[in-house]
Structures are given as structure tokens and as C-alpha cells.
Amino acid sequence: MEEKLIELYCTICQCNDSRFLEGKQRLSNNNCPKFSDEELITVYLWGKAQQLLTRKAIYNYTKSHLWAWFPALPSYQAFCRRLNRLTPAFQALAEIWAEDAAGKSGDTHYYAVDSCPVMAARRSYSTGARVGTGFCDKCYNAARQEWYYGVKLHVFVMLRPGRLPLLRAAQISPASCPDLTAAKQIDRDCAPVSFGHLFADRAYCDADWADSLKKCREIQIITPRKRKRYDVLRSGDCSHFRVSSARQPIESFFHWANLKSAFQDASRARSLQGIFFLVFSALAFIAFLARFYY
């Protein structure tokens, strides 16, 4: 166990990517604290690896079991405050480690895109929720058949036969943002997929975007055919089931990520920054698992 902890700490310290360095940059006199940002990130990710889902549990575990390794551990209040400040650093680590994992596994040229809710409040509690006002909003989730207040996480993943997909790109949007709008923005900003097939559900049906992907990225987007109410399902027409089976791994990805980090439950967050930290730290953790274990 000690070897893995040391490996994680060394990996974080040796990360010289400009995105990570900018994410943890301090523009203050206290730019060299006794308990470094690298130690803080190591402690948090290691706690997640021990299946501890809350900051309080991670802090108590570190204080009880890792005190000899981290004797300068700050107070719990400072611990939480500094974690929120390091949200851009976790976002950068998620991008860097996801790229490393994809590079090691090789590109299959089969991708999927989907979204999942990150809920600050659910059902009747969603009406009076005020966390993250100005960005978070209320929306109906058809899969869960309930109203919720919060944000939505949109991801592109690379599919791998017999294994969990690998993260390629992610974005947070207000809960009411259409999936297609967010996917187009991700495509414009970072072009996460190229030369292959992209599986998506009916929310991503758009002829203009499909033509653009085919011409600019050489990507063929495959969505279920929109069947009208009076259409009869004919024998041998398995297009819907074929797309559903191809998209099933991304549903498994969301389930596995939520099981490991509980990022979809943002009810403990007290600010928009706290919600962003919850999501991006979860993405960094699952990218860490993909890079070192999967």
C-alpha cells in the first residue's frame, strides 16, 4: 500500500504539464505552504481510493492512519477551503491522465456521447434550492422520472471491447441545457473524436451536425431511428437494439464512476464552486483509476 501512495505522490509532483501548473498556481504571499498542494491532492485521491466518499471521512482517515506521512495536515476548515481552490488543478489532472490512458490503450475509433445529472436537490426540494444560483437550474430527468435542481455532466468516451470506456472530454452545463447543444460546444472547443463511429441516443439527432462531423472529423454518428407511433417494428429491423447495445458501456461508465465517487449527489455542496469541485475531482479520480489500474 505504501508503494502505491508514494507512486501517486511522485506522479503528481512530477506532472509538469502547463494546465496543471496553472491550475494550482498561487497568486499570494502564502505560495509555499507547509502542507503542499501536491500533498493535498494526494491525500484526497488516496482517500477516494479507500472508498471514502466524503471530505470529512478522508480527513479523519488521513489524520488517523497517515499522520506520519503528512504531519503538517491543516485544520478541516482549511482542508476544505483549499480543495475548492484546487478545482482547476483536478480538472487539469483529469484531462492529462485521460489522455495518458487513451494513449496507452490505443484508439478503437468507436465512441459514445451522453450526459447524466448532478443533483443538488431532488423532487420537492428542487423548488426552493438556491445553491449555485445563476448557473444551476431545475430540470426534469426522464430516465429517473423526477425533477431535480443542479447541473448536468456531458462526456465523450472511447469504447473498448470487454472493458470500461475511457474518458475523452467532459463539460458541465446547467441542468436545462440540451444535450445536443453541449455536445456541439465540446466538439467545437476540443474536437474529442475523429475517424470512426459515434454512438448517441435520439437527443443528438441533428442532420447538420452529422454532416459536419462526417466532413470535418470523418465521424459517422449513429443514433436510433425515430420511429413514428404508427410504424410497425418489422422482423430483422434491429437498428435500435444495435445502437442501444453499443451505447450500454457509457451507462456502465456513469454507474461505475458514481459508485466510486458519488458525484451525482451534490446535496452536501454549499456553493457552485463546491459542485464544480465534486465533479472535476471525481473525473480526476476515475482518470487516475483508468491510468493506474484499468
Judge whether 155 lies within some domain.
Answer: yes
223 shares a domain with 115 = yes
246 shares a domain with 208 = yes
Judge whether 293 lies within some domain.
Answer: no
60 shares a domain with 19 = yes
Judge whether 292 lies within some domain.
Answer: no
pLDDT at 234 over 70: no
37 shares a domain with 127 = no
245 shares a domain with 134 = yes
CATH number at residue 169: 3.30.420
CA-CA-CA-CA dihedral for 186, 188, 192, 193, to nearest 10: 120
128 shares a domain with 246 = yes
208 shares a domain with 148 = yes
Judge whether 186 lies within some domain.
Answer: yes
Question: Using one digit for the tens of pLDDT, what is the confidence trace for 118-177?
Answer: 999 998 888 888 898 899 999 999 888 899 999 999 999 999 988 889 999 999 999 999
Bridge-based pairing state of the strands 163-174 and 146-160:
antiparallel
Q: How many domains does the chain have?
A: 2
Residue 247 structural domain: 107-228+235-270
20 shares a domain with 143 = no
d(CA 251, CA 44): 26
d(CA 43, CA 37): 10
Judge whether 220 lies within some domain.
Answer: yes
192 shares a domain with 142 = yes
pLDDT given at position 111: 94
Judge whether 15 lies within some domain.
Answer: yes
pTM tops 0.85: yes
Where is the domain boundary, 51, 85, 119? 85
248 shares a domain with 149 = yes
Question: Using one digit for the tens of pLDDT, what is the confidence trace for 174-199?
Answer: 999 999 999 999 999 988 888 999 99
